[in-house]
Amino acid sequence: MELYFADPAFKDPRPPLLQPRKKESFRFEDYCFQCKRKPGPWLKEGDTGVPTKKKLVFGVETCADHSQERLKTTSSSGPKPEVDIQLIPSAGMGITPKNVVSRNGGFVFNCDGWTASGAFRTGIVEAPRAAAIKRFYVPNWPVRSGCNPLLPHTELATVPPTAAKPYKIADLEYITPPETVDLNNAVDDIFSYGPGQLHLYPVKDLPK
């Protein structure tokens, strides 16, 4: 099939949504939303009526989108606004510094509900990183990477004013949560491995 797809005369019969897409064919606007710095409604796409300094721009990459550099390589119909806060909800992912697009002074946050064994092996728990981990281990199960133990975690970092893209691990300032709170059995039915955990990070000023 790959040989047929490579033939310029071959027309892919698959619907457009199922056809392979180049990274730059993803739209920046599909991975971002913006709001005023004060509580209020979301702003319309392309809204230029609010000055940049009064907006907050969020970038969202779900799990593998982050590893595939979706935000970093997206296209846009106009100038891309700078991302203030990059959010990475995932199931088996950690922050990949070179794929962080948050501006200088911005934040990047990862909340992972499964594990990130590959990322942990490459330094996610080594200084200067500071992931907060809720470790799940079942003694009578075989030890297997990505299955037992599980390493759900959170990770929050700021981008220093002088850091230059693409960022490296040492470029980001990782923040350790001062407190972790184990949830009780009232939420036991939400998680298959029992009650989860809250990670409470210190209050930070919004990017200016």
In this predicted model, what pLDDT tens digit does every residue of 65-115 receive, in sequence order? 998 888 988 877 777 889 999 999 998 888 889 999 999 999 999 998 887
Query: Is omega for the bond preceding 142 within 30 degrees of 0, making it cis?
Result: no
At 129, the pLDDT band (50, 70, 90 cuts) reads: low
pLDDT (mean) for 146-165:
87
pLDDT (mean) for 149-162:
89
Residue 26, pLDDT above cutoff 70 = yes
For the whole model, what pTM was predicted? 0.79
What pLDDT score does 86 carry? 97
pLDDT tens sequence across 158-176: 999 999 999 988 899 989 8
What pLDDT score does 162 carry? 92
Residue 123, pLDDT above cutoff 70 = no
In contact, 154 and 112? CB cutoff 8 Å: yes
Q: In whole angstroms, how large is the CA radius of gyration of the chain? A: 20
pLDDT tens sequence across 27-42: 888 889 888 887 777 7
